[in-house]
Structure 1
């Protein structure tokens, strides 16, 4: 297994209800979540707004600290691993963010953005690795000299993917990475992810609220609702025979190309 998650619990301060004096009340976001991510899987993590899916993804990568439970990456318990230990592992798990404009430093050129993680890991041949990463995501090497604002939304997202795969990770978490793109750019980015998964044997966790996208890309789906897993099955089984009422409600919200088609 790439990931093994056991009884993961996490609560965050509810700043919307913070009193003038004292600390903000805490709200439980993840409520004892347990699942495995096999090597080579493309796992969809779906749920409505506030379901906890993005929080779960960040906890998996130890970008936020869980309250309890266990996170194993490639057989190593990283639940409370110190930052020095995590730094040695971070080249093996990477993240692609939802909004490429806010996740890319506007004052740095594309080449510098992709090179940043490579330098942090102390790697050599930085320029060659940057060029290779641009090749892998289908961007001209000359884009290394451009700034993010000079690119389209789809191109910026490709830069985010290039930054993630430049380190040749074993696992990538993609958090709503096509939600802000037009239909054409969405298709191009999804095609790219499919190619990278095939070529490099990547394991991918794909967070999305769009089940039609998940159906195309993922071979397994985890449905999260109010911080709990209500269903975890193969993608075909989820669409052909959903078990949970909440899953049926998500499926019912998908726009259908055929007005006579009905999800069970």
Structure 2
């Protein structure tokens, strides 16, 4: 039985992918190192923020954590078992427990399926019971009327579509959710509503969450630990208070300086 406080223990994580942009005619695409020897833990019940600029590797890291990508080297220990190099047969029992909310709900929600079917499909794939009841519970949790089961994604606002994406994830009753830039395409009001929703779900459902963002002001509100990535390496990994009050890396300070202030005449954080 797993009793460690850490849900994930990641050690020496590396990932290389082919660079098709520089592929030579009739040759193999050269490999590019995306993640470079990452070491970190994710404690059960915590919210880890993963931040960095464009191309830092944060989304790639998230997809590797939930094993949409297989690492080139290193280990991903989930509740005591290394899942880093499991084949699809070995991963299938874990898929329900490791869920993901995608950045763009318009591209991640099937436009030809109604909301109820979108939420129910993963439940059917995993042969879970009480599907209709779980769909209704998921809609209740994300604050959408049950009548929305009959709607199509194009009939919803951006914030409502993102709530459907969240409902699809939590309907599986997972232990861990990866949220990849899920508020970046929303207006300020919708961002605040979705962040409030995530805070409530983490508390009410006992979720562990990894939240990927380039916006450190969002990270400060939601997360307890922060991992700062730059070019596939960890430049800082610390509690959120330390990141904002006493950052050790110049790169982290640059990210903090990029946060727009409500009143430019006032000092920063």
Q: Which bin holds the TM-score, normalised by the shorter protein?
A: over 0.9
Q: 1:243 maps to what in 2?
A: 248
Check the 8 A contact 2:261/2:268 in 1, yes or no.
no
Q: Structure 2 length normalisation: TM-score?
A: 0.96
Counterparts of 2:90 and 2:146, CA distance in 1: 34
What 5-or-longer segments of structure 2 have no aligned partner? Answer: 1-5
Match of 2:88 in 1: 83
Separation of aligned partners in 2, 1:65 and 1:195? 32
* 1:125 Cα deviation from its structure 2 partner: 1.3
Residue 261 (structure 1) shift: 4.0
How many residues are treated as equivalent by the alignment?
Answer: 264
Q: Equivalent residue for 1:52? A: 57
CA offsets, 1:214-239, max 9 Å, x none? 01111110000010001011111110
User: 1:54-69 residue pairs with structure 2 within 5 A?
Assistant: 54-69=59-74
Using the TM superposition, give the Cα deviation of residue 248 of structure 1 relative to its aligned residue in structure 2, in angstroms. 0.4
Seen in structure 2, the aligned counterparts of structure 1 residues 248 and 241 have a Cα distance that, compared at 3 Å, is: same
Residues in 1 aligned to 2:268 and 2:31: alpha-carbon distance in whole angstroms? 37
8 A Cα contact 1:30 1:228, kept in partner: yes
**Which residue number in structure 1 is paired with residue 234 of structure 2?**
229
Q: Deviations over 1:61-114 (max 9, x none)?
A: 110111000011111111111211211111111000000010001111111110
- Residue 218 of structure 1 corresponds to 223
Unmatched segments (≥5 aa) in structure 1? none
8 Å contact 2:14–2:73 — kept in the other structure?
yes
CA distance in 2, matches of 1:114, 1:3: 27
* Corresponding residue to 1:130 among 122, 131, 135: 135
Aligned twin of 2:168? 163
* Alpha carbons 2:225, 2:240 under 8 Å: kept: yes
1:262 deviates by 4.0
In the alignment, is the contact (CA less than 8 A) between 1:99 and 1:177 conserved in 2? Answer: yes
Provide the rounded CA distance (Å) in 2 between the counterparts of 1:230 and 1:259.
28
Residue 132 (structure 2) pairs with residue 120 (structure 1): no
Distance 1:203 1:152 in 2: 27
Give the TM-score taking structure 1 as reference length.
Answer: 0.98
Which residue matches 1:193?
Answer: 198
Structure 1 residues 11 and 261, CA gap change in structure 2 (3 angstroms) = farther
The 4+ residue runs of structure 1 with deviation greater than 6 A are none
1:170 touches 1:202 (CA, 8 Å); kept in 2? Answer: yes
In 2, Cα distance between the equivalents of 1:261 and 1:71? 43
